[in-house]
Structures are given as structure tokens and as C-alpha cells.
A and B are shown apart, each in its own frame.
Chain A
Amino acid sequence: MDPRADDERSLLAAEYALGTLEADARREAEALLARDEGFRRELWWWERRFAGLGLRLAPLPPRPLVWLGLQRRIAGAAVTPLRRAPRATATTAWAWTASAAALVLAVALGVQMRKPPQVITERVEVPVAATSYVAVLQMPQSDMHWTVSATPARDALAIRAGGQPPAAVAGHDVELWLITDAGPVSLGLLPVSGELRRALPAHLPLAAGRTLAVSLEPQGGSPTGKPTGPVLTTAAILQSG
């Protein structure tokens, strides 16, 4: 191909990716994109390059409400009228992880989640809609995180580990604590990978707004029943269902 024409195509792709084209030229590029595989690849090449300019910006966590709104929009796209807190469905899983990911961000920001007071207008026993809680504990300086889900009515505690354990954790165990009015209560050791399910200790004052904390402990966990090592991270508990 004529090298000049080649340059023109490449420039059109570059400027389309960059966004500098005025409407007419933009439509020209879009028409070309629709029918020309080579042009598409050229565009992709430029997109990848320019993406580097965006990715050099310092990351900035959005507010949790973004995720919550997104969750609503995605749920709204599916047709499920009169959803009544179904158990063990995708929707429930969704609600869990939704709050969870939002919390990752809240924690990363160091935001204290302030929950509005809960107004209970009606109290009905709905066995399928047991209250559940979720918290995501994100280790700073690391992508290690734990999603902790608890459903007290079923004594169920599930912990899912994600990311790579940081070097500081090597040779130690990490222990999960619920901060109660009477001080920290151990919820056991945290897995560094995979998912762990175990029974939730009875009569735990679990509630939205309470804090979970992770401490670094000797192997086998705290010998004293209280945290002995540094606190690695904390997170507020959210009600997820």
C-alpha cells in the first residue's frame, strides 16, 4: 500500500482513539471500522497505547454508592418482578458481593460508613430471608482481601480469600476479630486462599456498623484470646440481606 495512504489510515485511527476528530471525520472512521479489519486492528493498537496514559494516573476509589447503583441497574435489566429475598439464588449472591465490593472501596478510602438508623416498621418471621452481613477486609499495600459473610440465623460464616498474601504474613497466621463493646472476640483464623465455611459462634453481637479487624498472630493464632500482633486492617460490617 502507498505509505502515505498507510499513514493517513494510521492517523485516522490514532485520532479516533484519542478523540480529537470532529463529527464528520469520526463518522468516516466509524464507517471504516465497520468494514475494514485492518483498520480495526490499527485502532486497537492505538487504543492500547493511549490506555497507558490513563493508567499512569493515580488510582482513585469511587464512592460505594456507585457500585450499589450499578447493582440496581444490572438487576433492573433482568426481569424479576416482586423479588422476595430469595435464598441461594444469583440475586442473593449478587447482593452479597455487591455490598462487598462497595466496601472494599470504602475501606480503601478509609471511609467510615455511616448507616442511617434502621426503622423497623414490621417484624415478620421470614425464614428464607435471614439477615446476613458482609464485610470486605482489604490489606493495605497488597491486593490480599477477604470477603466475610455471616448469617447468624443459620450460624453460618463464610470467608473467601482473594489476592496474594503479602510477604509480611509469611510464617504467621492472620486472625479475624469482631470488635464488641467488651473488646475483640475471635472469629478464628483467616484462610490465605480459597473459601472457608464454618459455624458462627453463638450469641455474637453481630450488627451493621460494627467493626471487623484482622491481626497478625503467631502460627496457630493468638495464644491469649486477644489480638497480640499488629492490626493489619479493619472494615465495617454491612447488612447484605
Chain B
Amino acid sequence: MPDDVPSADNADTLSLLLAASGRGDENAFAELYALTSPKLFAILLRIMKTREWAEDALQDCYLRIWQNAERYTPERGAPMAWLATIARYRALDLLRARRPDSEPAGTEPVDEDFDDNDHAPAHDQTPEDYAAEAEGLARLDDCMRELPAEQRGIVLLAYYQGCTHSEIAARTRTPMGTVKSWLRRGLLRLRDCLGGA
């Protein structure tokens, strides 16, 4: 297995907390929640747009995490990456269930500039907090930046807005075939750049 997600003290801590949560240790789970929920909430709110929805989704996520903590293995990536994945899938599920009659999103502009302030840590966040992901993130950022703008735009629209092909086509007023082919080319390029799978 390629060990491409760096481990850091932070990741070790989260691994321990996850393992303890899997054994039913409620204190560990509370600590896990305290340490990780702001990151998952940021992801959920970004995708779901509505605070109440994002909060509901966050509860769902941690209920799953509580019930499935023992299933975490390092193969799934750093603990934070695994948690982020759970959150994002949950957001996608809920978006799908709520479409199309209650589309929450305004057509928010996609990050045209990848160096926008999303990347800036929050004020109360120290660089060390990001240590667990820093290396992987830097590489991902580099590779994203190397994508042609239209390919990058679609990947970001898909990730941050939870859009399917047809939604991307509608939002960007681009033919479906073009959307698919840009996305495919973007993803293959991303995979090559990330040295992957």
C-alpha cells in the first residue's frame, strides 16, 4: 500500500481516539468530536449551504463514526481523511435525497483562483493543526493548479457543490459531453500527477 498520507502526531492521536471509540469509550469519542467536528462541519456547510442541514448531517456523520469507528484502518488514509470522506458522502446522500425540489445552492462562483482564501487557515488555527495533512495537501494543490482551468473548475464544482455531470453541465452552460470529457481528462491528469493509483 503506498504510504502517501503522512502521519503526524495529530494523526496518531486521532487514530488512538478512533480505536478507543470503536471499543465504546465515550470520553475518547467526545474528544474525537471536539477535535474533528469543526473540519467536518466546514465541509458539510460548504456543500449543503444551510446551517441546519449541515448540522443534521454532522450528527448523522458522528453517529456513523461512533458505530463504525472500529472499522477504520490506516488503508483508508489518515484518520482525518477518512472522517472527511464520511462527511462528504453523507452530504452527497442528503443532497440527492433533497433534490430537485429543494435545491439549496445559489450558483456560487467556483474557486476560479485556487489560491483563494479557503486555503487560509482560520485565525485560531495554527500551522501545526494542519501538520497531519500538510504534505498531502501541498501536493494536491500543486497538481490541481497544473490542471487547465476548465478541468480544475469542474473538479472543484463537483467536490464543493456536490454536482453530478448534468448539474455541472447546466450550471456551466456546457454540453454534457464536454463536461464529461473535461472531467475525465482532468481526473486522469490528476492521478498521474499524484503518482497514483
A contact patch SS = helix
Q: Chain A contacts of B92 at CB under 8 A? A: 19
A residues with a Cβ closer than 8 A to B are: 7, 10-11, 13-15, 17-22, 41-42, 44-63, 65-67, 69-70, 73-74, 77, 90, 93-94, 97-98, 100-101, 104-105, 108, 136, 140-143, 145, 162, 164
* C-alpha gap A108/B124 in the complex (Å): 8
Interface: B184 (CB within 8 A): yes
Minimum-distance CB pairs A-B, first 9? A97-B30, A48-B77, A59-B38, A51-B81, A45-B197, A54-B43, A51-B84, A58-B122, A52-B140
Most A-side CB within 10 Å, residue of B31, B76, B156, B184: B31
Given known A-B contacts A60-B42, A93-B26, A97-B27, A70 and B63 have beta carbons under 8 A apart = yes
Min CB distance A100 to B, Å, is 6
Q: Are B166 and A22 in contact (CB under 8 A)?
A: yes
CA distance A138 to B164 in the complex (A): 40
With an 8 Å Cβ cutoff, the count of chain B residues facing the other chain is 79
* Most A Cβ at <10 Å: residue of B42, B66, B130, B144: B42
Partner of B125, one of A22, A59, A66, A164: A59
Partner of A47, one of B76, B130, B140, B168: B76
CB–CB A60/B87 < 8 A: no
CB–CB A55/B133 < 8 A: yes
CA distance A60 to B144 in the complex (A): 24
Asked if B88 contacts A54 (CB within 8 A), the reply is yes
Question: Closest CB of chain B to A161's CB: distance in Å?
Answer: 11
Q: How far is the CA of A93 from the CA of B183 in the complex (A)?
A: 49
In the assembled complex, which residues on chain A have CB atoms less than 8 Å from the CB atom of B58?
Answer: 62, 66
A57, B183: Cβ atoms closer than 8 Å: no
A157 to B159, CA, bound (A): 47
Partner of A66, one of B26, B55, B130, B133: B55
